[in-house]
């Protein structure tokens, strides 16, 4: 059954090497810009896209692996962004201290929402997280002392290891963090924990019978998802250097959902590809086409529906699907198919 | 009544178990006990409360009354009702489900590995995050164990297929393999032969006997297929309307008048 | 005392709006087992349609409203036929994501079709008020309260006294059995989506004079309606209606009696409701459901 891999295959199939290559490719971008081959704006768009990838990866742990929906991702990302802006600017804390606080505060809140998920099963959770996102939005709009309201909270490029970063330096930091996140998420989910989350989604009864504490793993899933959203928020506010309340609303949370549905549930590369489709495409491609810019929301909606209905494994599985069509692979199961008890409500 | 748990041989003692749903008694004052190394059958007509008994033992339901005592892996006697559902497994009780509860999208191998969840006790989330040597060794050990279980049931060559894409017979075997991963003292099988054809049922009978021998364990099963039950069970309890009708060997059960009435519907 | 009475009276108007919005959610949920996140957008979109007819085509409110009802009905049909029907085999979360896709499409279409400006919506009755027990209330508010009650009574009558209602209730109870009994569940579901669209439009028409017709004016109402459904147990029409009025009263009390209530009343209400639902996840009237394994 196991085909023997030759040396070449063994190298290019090594996941760590793949992550590194992806990282190096992204790191080349500023050099290409210096050579005049890429526009400066493109680098910013790609940097932002990587930031969104990190947050979407968090949602993928939650929805893809654990089957728990959250419409609060943008709210948590925004909370971290505002925290970091507030701590570094108003309280003048060093970047590292601010970072730890800005990751910790939303994550604690995220775990509390995870506690809610103990009681809000299935359909209820989407509604509860929608309300939580709305509460956060309202706080961003109204609490001027913390968020500077509609005039926006400002932040600077950070200083790390005694080095003051500029825009390009911040871009490199984003690439490095993205690749580290990829590697850590990959390691976290490829074994026991990933299986436990999968079991929780696929059959709660089986999970409990196999000694998996659904309670514990839901909290872990929510914690991990919020931590990644917070990390993305901190990177965002120190890269774009301003945060407005309007950014962190439901449409952004929907974008994260679209990313993982289109890119691929339970796939790291899928999340990356999905981010590019949702953010980079509309910024880099759609804006070039007359009228299309105004239809990006429509396009996202159509893509969400088409992918869920007809291509539920997302773009991440194009290659394996092609192989399957050629008769070399095994059949697949719809990842969001109803279980027996769901059919009649 | 003498305390059965004093006998070294007693593994599970069920005493005066009762549970009602909306006033309807699904299990009514039921008592029986299982000895170590037995293959024990629980039979009864449809709706007799067999699966409910299983759900009470494994704490999916909390019984209204009664005691469930179990001699766990460490040899201590524990009261199962005091445990949350997910902590029943670590005592040494593992179960299958009537409607096969597998993670359809995961490979068969991964499904079986889920059965080893608690055996990773030594590795922490941080071990996972940083992929430590301890985690890698543990994972390798478990994969070997899972493949042994799959080989034991003759389905190792399917291990990379998604579980949901396989025929029912294979899925049932995957569930069986999953139970073997936790080094159980008691395996509870909920209608293991349901949906299997005749050849598969014969195979299953053989497998259950082999599991007891190879994995040195005790088996409790609910089954409709009388031939299977009569063939492999050392002792059998027959229940109806949640009440115990009779306990005994296959021959005794077959000869019992109350059991015959329950099955044939003869008025007493 | 008269202030308190005034709050209750005003709450009834908001309660009607929430009740209509939550009824549309429950109607869709019971017949197609979908929690429809796009319901508020359907309301927004059809209200925009009505406002545009009034402002651009100069139609009188009444005519525009009737055309709007037809529009909302067809919109509901369309969404069901094109999208929801195909999603029947998805898990509840999968269906939720589908409705979020619909939400995104409608939200994206709105400025392209109706323009980017907020529109004014006239009240059904432009002016005039009367005094009830020392509190003044506008004729329009009374009409809204009355309309809400009328719609609910009609819905109750249709559900419990007509053949169509029986078909809906059977579908809601058990779709496969309903099909066996010859109920065209497809037709029931389609009409449920259409009628839900109409109820949403009515809610939108009542709510929009308070603000303006914009892409976001239904958002709060949608979330509140969802919470009202949860409070009512998410299964019965009665529960959703009761939940709506309770929330409307609570919301108004918070806004008036809480310091800075107009600013923080809403988030605090949401937090209180989530807290309550955490303690009673099946709401005031919902039943606990035990999964069989």
> Tell me: the pLDDT tens digits for A37-66?
888 888 899 999 999 999 999 999 999 899
Q: Please state the domain extents for chain C.
A: 2-215
A116 in contact with C, Cβ within 8 Å: yes
**Residues within 8 A of C (CB atoms), A 62-91 only:** 63, 67, 69, 71
* Minimal Cβ distance to A342: which of C92, C101, C293: C92
User: How far is B2 from chain A, CA to nearest CA, in Å?
Assistant: 32
Inter-chain residue contact B90 with A211, CB threshold 8 Å: yes
Cα three-residue angle B45-B50-B54, rounded to 5 degrees: 165
Write down all domains in chain B, each with its CATH number in brackets: 1-92+184-268 (3.40.50.300), 102-182 (no CATH)
- Cβ–Cβ of C89/A124 closer than 8 Å? no
CA distance B116 to chain C (A): 21
Instruction: Give the integer Cα–Cα distance in Å for A99 and A265.
Output: 29
Identify the band that residue C289 occupies on the pLDDT scale cut at 50, 70 and 90.
Answer: low
Cβ contacts (< 8 Å) between C293 and chain B: which residues? 55, 60, 97-99, 101
**If you average pLDDT over residues C33-48, what whole number do you get?**
93
Q: Is B185 exposed, middle or buried (0-12, 13-18, 19+ CB in 10 A)?
A: buried
Q: Taking Cα atoms as reference points, which of A72, A79, A118 lies closest to residue A101? A: A79
- Give mean pLDDT, residues B244-248: 89
Which residues of chain C make contact with B99, given a CB cutoff of 8 A?
293
Contact C277 A301 (CB under 8 A): no
Chain A residues in contact with B130 by the CB 8 A cut-off are: 184, 187
Edge-to-edge strand order for the sheet containing B243-248? Answer: B93-95, B186-190, B218-222, B39-43, B235-240, B243-248
What pLDDT score does B110 carry?
92
Residue A329 pLDDT exceeds 50: no
Q: Is the pLDDT at C288 greater than 70, yes or no?
A: no
Quickly state the pLDDT bin for B171 (edges 50, 70, 90). very high
* Residue range A7-17: mean pLDDT, rounded: 78
Closest residue in C to A299 (Cα) is C105
Among A residues 195-224, those touching chain C with beta carbons less than 8 Å apart = 204-205
Using one digit for the tens of pLDDT, what is the confidence trace for C160-169? 888 888 888 8
Q: Are B228 and B205 in contact (CB under 8 A)?
A: yes
Predicted confidence at residue C5, as pLDDT, reads 80
The answer to whether A339 contacts chain C (CB < 8 Å) is: yes
Which of the four pLDDT bands, split at 50, 70 and 90, describes residue B175?
A: very high
Distance from CA of B99 to the nearest CA of C (A): 7
Average pLDDT over residues C125-136: 78
pLDDT tens per residue, range A191-215: 889 999 999 988 889 999 999 998 8
Domain A14-342 in this protein, CATH class: mainly alpha
Three-state DSSP class for residue C130: strand
Neighbours of C2 (CB within 10 A): 11
Q: How confident is the model at residue A344 (pLDDT cuts 50, 70, 90)?
A: very low
Chain C contact set for B97 (CB, 8 A): 293
Q: Is the pLDDT of residue C291 over 70?
A: no
Q: How confident is the model at residue A342 (pLDDT cuts 50, 70, 90)?
A: very low
Residue of C nearest to B55 (CA): C293
Lowest mean pLDDT segment, chosen from B136-145, C195-204, C279-288: C279-288
Question: Average pLDDT in the B139-143 region?
Answer: 90
**pLDDT greater at residue C290 or residue C233:** C233
User: Does the pLDDT at position A249 exceed 70?
Assistant: yes
Interchain pair A127, C226: CB under 8 A? yes
Residues on chain C touching B26 (C-beta within 8 angstroms): none
Task: Report CA-CA distances (Å) from B24 to A17, B27, B28.
Answer: 62, 9, 10
% of residues, chain B, pLDDT over 90: 42
Which residue in chain A has the smallest CA separation from B135? A191
Contacts of C265 in chain A (CB under 8 A): none
What confidence category does residue B121 fall into, taking pLDDT thresholds of 50, 70 and 90?
low
Across the range B80-90, mean pLDDT stands at 91
**Sign of the dihedral through C-alpha C152, C157, C163, C169:** positive
pLDDT of B18 higher than 60: yes
Residue B77 corresponds to which tokens in the numbers above?
Answer: 């006697």
Q: Which of A35-39, B159-163, B246-250 is the least confident region?
A: A35-39
Distance from CA of C105 to the nearest CA of A (A): 4
Question: Is 70 exceeded by the pLDDT of residue A333?
Answer: no
Considering only residues C183 and B83, tell me which one the structure prediction assigns the higher pLDDT: B83
Q: Which three-class secondary structure state does DSSP give residue A2? A: coil
Looking at residue A183, its pLDDT comes to 93
The answer to whether A117 and A68 are in contact (CB under 8 A) is yes
Compare CB distances from A192 to B84, B99, B120 and report the shortest one's residue: B120
Question: Average of pLDDT values for A102-119?
Answer: 89
Q: How many CB pairs under 8 A join A and B?
A: 109
Residues of A in contact with C111 (CB under 8 A): 294
Length of chain C: 293
**Is residue B2 pLDDT above 60, yes or no?**
no
**pLDDT confidence of residue A4:** 61
**Residue A289: which pLDDT band, with cuts at 50, 70 and 90?**
confident
Q: Measured between CB atoms, does C293 come within 8 Å of chain B?
A: yes
Chain B, chain C: beta-carbon pairs less than 8 Å apart: 7
Mean pLDDT throughout A318-335?
64
**Which pLDDT does position A79 carry in this prediction?**
95
Quote helix, strand, coil % in chain B, to nearest 5: 45, 25, 35
C201/C193 Cα distance (integer angstroms): 12
Contacts of B90 in chain A (CB under 8 A): 211
Mutation target vs C (from B60, B97, B175; most C CBs, 10 A cutoff): B60
**CB distance from C261 to chain A under 8 Å?**
no
pLDDT at A1: 41
Mean pLDDT of chain C: 87
Which of C263, C270, C292 lies at the smallest CB-CB distance from A134? Answer: C270
Higher-scoring residue by pLDDT: C35, C259: C35
pLDDT reported for residue C286: 65
**pLDDT at residue C4 in the model:** 79
Residue A154 has a pLDDT of 87
Q: Which of A238, A231, A240 is nearest to A41 (CA)?
A: A240
Contact call for residues C83 and A305 (beta carbons, < 8 A): yes
123-182 in chain C: CB under 8 A from chain A: 172, 174-176
Alpha-helix residue ranges (DSSP H) falling in A120-165: 123-142, 144-147
Q: Which pLDDT belongs to residue A341?
A: 46
Question: What pLDDT is stored for residue A345 in this prediction?
Answer: 31
Q: Best of B80, B131, B168 to disrupt the A interface by mutation (most A CBs within 10 Å)?
A: B131
């Amino acid at each position: 059954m196991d085909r023997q891999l030759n040396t070449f295959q063994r190298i290019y199939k090594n996941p760590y090497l793949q992550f590194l290559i992806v990282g190096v490719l992204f790191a080349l971008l500023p050099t290409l810009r210096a050579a005049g081959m890429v526009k400066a704006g493109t680098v910013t768009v790609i940097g932002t896209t990587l930031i969104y990838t990190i947050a979407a990866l968090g949602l993928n742990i939650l929805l893809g692996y654990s089957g728990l929906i959250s419409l609060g991702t943008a709210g948590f990302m925004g909370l971290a962004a505002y925290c970091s802006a507030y701590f570094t600017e108003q309280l003048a804390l060093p970047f590292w201290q601010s970072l730890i606080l800005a990751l910790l505060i939303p994550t604690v809140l995220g775990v509390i929402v995870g506690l809610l998920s103990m009681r809000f099963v299935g359909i209820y959770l989407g509604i509860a997280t929608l309300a939580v996102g709305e509460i956060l939005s309202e706080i961003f709009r109204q609490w001027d002392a913390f968020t500077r309201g509609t005039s926006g909270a400002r932040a600077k490029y950070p200083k790390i290891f005694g080095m003051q970063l500029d825009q390009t330096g911040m871009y490199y930091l984003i690439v490095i963090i993205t690749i580290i996140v990829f590697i850590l998420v990959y390691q976290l989910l490829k074994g026991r924990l990933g299986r436990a989350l999968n079991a929780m989604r696929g059959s709660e009864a089986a999970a409990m019978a196999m000694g998996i504490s659904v309670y514990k793993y839901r909290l872990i899933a929510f914690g991990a998802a919020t931590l990644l959203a917070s990390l993305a928020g901190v990177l965002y506010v120190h890269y774009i250097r301003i945060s407005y309340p309007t950014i962190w609303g439901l449409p952004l949370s929907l974008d994260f959902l679209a990313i993982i549905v289109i890119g691929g549930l339970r796939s790291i590369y899928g999340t990356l590809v999905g981010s590019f489709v949702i953010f980079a495409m509309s910024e880099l491609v759609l804006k070039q086409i007359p009228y299309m810019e105004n239809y990006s929301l429509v396009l996202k909606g159509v893509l969400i529906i088409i992918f869920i209905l007809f291509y539920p494994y997302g773009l991440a599985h194009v290659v394996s699907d092609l192989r399957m069509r050629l008769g070399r692979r095994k059949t697949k199961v719809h990842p969001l198919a109803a279980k027996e008890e769901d059919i009649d409500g | 009544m003498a305390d059965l748990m004093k006998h070294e041989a007693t593994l599970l003692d069920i005493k005066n178990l009762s549970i009602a749903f909306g006033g309807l008694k699904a299990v009514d004052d039921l008592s029986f006990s299982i000895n170590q190394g037995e293959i024990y059958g629980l039979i009864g007509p449809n709706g007799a409360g067999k699966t409910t008994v299983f759900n009470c033992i494994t704490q999916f339901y909390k019984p209204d009354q009664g005691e469930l005592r179990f001699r766990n892996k460490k040899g201590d006697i524990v009261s199962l009702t005091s445990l949350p559902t997910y902590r029943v497994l670590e005592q040494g009780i593992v179960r299958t489900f009537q409607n096969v509860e597998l993670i359809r999208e995961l490979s068969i191998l991964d499904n079986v590995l889920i059965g080893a969840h608690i055996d990773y006790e030594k590795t922490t989330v941080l071990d996972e995050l940083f992929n430590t040597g301890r985690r890698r060794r543990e994972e390798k050990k478990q994969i070997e164990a899972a493949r042994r279980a799959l080989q034991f049931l003759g389905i190792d060559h399917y291990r990379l297929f998604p579980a949901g894409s396989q025929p029912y017979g294979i899925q049932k075997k995957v569930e069986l393999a999953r139970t073997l991963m936790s080094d159980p003292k008691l395996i509870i099988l909920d209608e293991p032969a349901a949906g299997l054809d005749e050849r598969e049922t014969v195979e299953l009978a053989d497998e259950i006997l082999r599991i007891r021998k190879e994995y040195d364990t005790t088996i409790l099963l609910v089954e409709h297929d009388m031939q299977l039950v009569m063939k492999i069970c050392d002792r059998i309890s027959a229940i109806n309307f949640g009440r115990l009708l009779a306990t005994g060997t296959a021959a005794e059960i077959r000869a019992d008048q109350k059991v015959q009435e329950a099955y044939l519907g003869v008025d007493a | 005392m008269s202030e308190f009475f005034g709050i209750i009276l005003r709450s009834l108007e908001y309660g009607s709006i929430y009740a209509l919005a939550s009824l549309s959610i429950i109607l869709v949920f019971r017949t197609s087992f979908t929690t429809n996140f796009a319901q508020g957008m359907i309301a927004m979109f059809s209200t925009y349609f009505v406002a545009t007819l009034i402002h651009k085509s100069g139609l009188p409110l009444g005519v525009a409203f009737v055309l709007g009802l037809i529009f909302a009905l067809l919109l509901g049909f369309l969404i069901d036929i094109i999208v929801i029907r195909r999603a029947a085999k998805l898990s509840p979360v999968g269906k939720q994501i589908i409705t979020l896709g619909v939400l995104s499409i409608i939200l994206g279409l709105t400025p392209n079709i109706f323009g980017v400006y907020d529109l004014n919506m006239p009240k059904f009755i432009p002016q005039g008020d009367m005094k009830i027990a020392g509190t003044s209330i506008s004729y329009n508010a009374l009409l809204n309260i009355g309309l809400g009650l009328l719609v609910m009574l009609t819905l109750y009558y249709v559900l419990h006294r007509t053949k169509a209602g029986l078909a809906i209730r059977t579908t809601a109870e058990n779709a496969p059995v309903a099909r066996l009994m010859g109920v065209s569940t497809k037709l029931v579901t389609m009409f449920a989506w259409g009628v839900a669209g109409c109820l949403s439009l009515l809610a939108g028409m009542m709510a929009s004079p308070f603000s303006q017709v914009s892409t976001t004016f239904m958002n709060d109402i949608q979330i509140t309606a969802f919470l009202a459904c949860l409070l009512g147990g998410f299964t019965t029409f009665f529960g959703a209606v009761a939940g709506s009025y309770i929330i409307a009263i609570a919301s108004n009390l918070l806004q008036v009696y809480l310091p800075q209530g107009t600013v923080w009343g809403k988030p605090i209400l949401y937090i209180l409701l989530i807290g309550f639902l955490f303690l009673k996840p099946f709401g005031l009237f919902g039943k606990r459901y035990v999964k069989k394994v």
